[in-house]
Structure 1
Amino acid sequence: MSDAILCRFEAARSIVRDAADLAMSMRPPSGGPTAKLKSAQDWLTEADGAVEALISARIDTLFPEDGFQGEEEGRTRTGRLRWVVDPIDGTSNYARGRNRWCVSLGLLDGDQPVAGIIQAPALGETYTAVRGHGAFLNGRPIRASAVTDTRSAMVEMGWSSRVPDGVFAEKAATILRLGAMPRSSGSGALALADVACGRLDGYLEIVINLWDVAAALVLLEEAGARVSPFLRDGGLEGGITLLAAAPGIAADLAVALEVPLD
């Protein structure tokens, strides 16, 4: 990996740390959601905009030639190297004062993920990865689960109002028929990070966007997980399906759920 990428990664670690501190300082108290409702279960807090603005401004100062894309403002700058941020992934949790949310920042070189940082400050966890340099949780190397039987697997499935109820129910039923234990915890980025470190054996989201996965894609690759071809199949342009899984059950999940693998 080039010195330019490694330099950006080190700078991004500091930027994400400051962004996470800002998000913590703005976190609503526990209770009913303190946020605006964009659509069913799709929340927007004041922190979403503030955190994205902080990251965008810092990157623009340090690397003005780089592209930038955020969940809230869209693609505001173009460049071969493109930063993609989800300022608060798991906003439904964040808006209620819960702990399972994160700041997610990924770096793409063209259409290839090359670095990613996912920081969950309320959990005290930071995931990091640079292509070719391994994947880490709080500085310790991580690997995907060694599970080989879906009957002993734990699989999470993300929910979206953009998915018809019947489709969601069908996929959930398929996971249950495989004997896997289902989960749903409200943060796509952290679910993917859990697959990378073996806390989950699989994660399916029928419609998910680039900002949700940009940081996690390199983390998953470096941790040895298998992932559906999200970027190749249209993830750069809009929301599509993503499956990430431990290598020992990835093929079984992909066939049952009718999702192609890499």
Structure 2
Amino acid sequence: MNAAFDADAIRARAEAAITVALEVGRETARFRHDSDPGSLAVENKGLQDFVTIADRRAEQAIRDGLLSRFPDDTFMGEESGGRSGEGGTWVVDPIDGTTNYIRGFRHWGVSIAFVVGGKVEIGVVYDAAGDKVFHAVRGSGAFKDGLPVHAAATVDPVNALVILGHSRKTSFDDHLALSRRLHERGMDYRRMGAAAIDLVRVAEGAADLYYERHLNAWDMLAGALIAEEAGAMVAMPPVDKLLAQGGPVIAHSPGLAGEFAFILDIEGLAPVAI
């Protein structure tokens, strides 16, 4: 770890991020409720205006909440951009699962990661469905509202539940082929549309796999750390590469490692310490 970020410095940032994620997540949920975007036609420009305002408001609130406390940190957000710095960098998706958020499907959240020296030191995810905050500090376990969470102990694929993401940047035929292969092994699967939340579902043992071939760093880093600290096996490219160009992520319960090894082969990855 960078010498400027000892355990106390990381702990202080984790506590701040938890507070900010909860406050911004709840305010973003209120904003949707009060704005009633469901009354807008999907094609209506007013809907896009609503999305833009919601995203920007949330990201600005996160930026202000974190940088007011830690002004020397750098900030990289989905809406405002930015670059990682030599010190610590906050990597933020203010509303992960934007389409779900618009439509009132409560599978969306706020994702905040803190990266130092190419390592994710803190991951915080606000889960709108349960009004809960998941968090992890590297090496210290994973928690949901302060209580420990653990990856599932599933060993039989017939009992497995998997979540698959899909990006339009990748082949839909490949996505279908993967779905078929998992189906033939007896697994049930979902596509939910919010990577950060999908990853914490693996962390809390509600799902046994989350895999998507291409995500941006702000979509995955916080949830990936939480999943790994909960005991899941996680594979993704190096953090610096993800910050620059995005990439795949795989997180799964350890008892099914043999079932999901072929996905690692597809991506040319191995489980890594985030």
Output the TM-score relative to the length of structure 1.
0.90
Partner of 1:178: 185
Partner of 1:261: 270
Query: How far off its partner does 1:36 sit?
Result: 2.4
- Write 1 or 2 for the structure with the bigger share of strand: 1
**How far apart are the structure 2 equivalents of 1:164 and 1:70?**
27
Partner of 2:9: 4
Partner of 1:216: 223
Cα pair 2:236 2:248 within 8 Å, conserved: no
Query: How far off its partner does 1:21 sit?
Result: 2.5
Q: Name the CA shift for 1:232/1:210 in 2 (closer, same or farther; >3 Å).
A: closer
**How far apart are the structure 2 equivalents of 1:160 and 1:71?**
16
Q: Write out aligned runs for 1:158-173 (5 A).
A: 158-173=165-180
Could you give the per-residue CA deviations for residues 79-110 of structure 1, whole angstroms, max 9, x where no partner exists?
42111110000111101122111011111112
Comparing 11-20 with 70-79, greater Cα deviation is found at 70-79
Query: How far off its partner does 1:70 sit?
Result: 0.5
Q: Which amino acid aligns with 1:157?
A: L
Q: Name the CA shift for 1:102/1:111 in 2 (closer, same or farther; >3 Å).
A: same
Q: Write out aligned runs for 1:182-197 (5 A).
A: 182-197=189-204
Q: Name the CA shift for 1:58/1:76 in 2 (closer, same or farther; >3 Å).
A: farther
Query: How far off its partner does 1:250 sit?
Result: 2.5
Query: How far off its partner does 1:44 sit?
Result: 4.2
Comparing 125-134 with 84-93, greater Cα deviation is found at 125-134
Note if 1:35 corresponds to 2:42.
no
Q: Which amino acid aligns with 1:238?
A: Q
Equivalent in 175, 178, 198 of residue 205 of structure 2: 198
Partner of 1:40: none
Query: How far off its partner does 1:204 sit?
Result: 0.8
- Write 1 or 2 for the structure with the bigger share of helix: 2
Q: Secondary structure at the match of 1:198?
A: coil
Could you give the per-residue CA deviations for residues 1-31 of structure 1, whole angstroms, max 9, x where no partner exists?
6111001111112211221122112115373
Query: How far off its partner does 1:149 sit?
Result: 2.1
Cα pair 1:24 1:122 within 8 Å, conserved: no
Query: How far off its partner does 1:233 sit?
Result: 8.5
Cα RMSD for the two superposed structures: 2.1
Comparing 75-84 with 187-196, greater Cα deviation is found at 75-84
Partner of 1:96: 103
Could you give the per-residue CA deviations for residues 40-83 of structure 1, whole angstroms, max 9, x where no partner exists?
xxx94421111101111222221111111101111156342111
Stretches of structure 2 lacking an aligned partner (at least 5 in a row): 1-5
Cα pair 2:153 2:255 within 8 Å, conserved: yes
Equivalent in 41, 63, 77 of residue 70 of structure 2: 63
Partner of 1:121: 128
Q: Name the CA shift for 1:229/1:100 in 2 (closer, same or farther; >3 Å).
A: closer
**How far apart are the structure 1 equivalents of 2:229 and 2:129?**
25
Comparing 93-102 with 55-64, greater Cα deviation is found at 55-64
Note if 1:108 corresponds to 2:120.
no
**How far apart are the structure 2 equivalents of 1:13 and 1:233?**
24
Q: Which amino acid aligns with 1:195?
A: V
Q: Secondary structure at the match of 1:62?
A: coil
Cα pair 1:174 1:256 within 8 Å, conserved: no
Cα pair 1:193 1:219 within 8 Å, conserved: yes
Partner of 2:19: 14
Query: How far off its partner does 1:223 sit?
Result: 0.5
Q: Write out aligned runs for 1:236-251 (5 A).
A: 236-251=243-258
Output the TM-score relative to the length of structure 2.
0.86
Equivalent in 11, 26, 30 of residue 31 of structure 2: 26
**How far apart are the structure 1 equivalents of 2:139 and 2:84?**
27
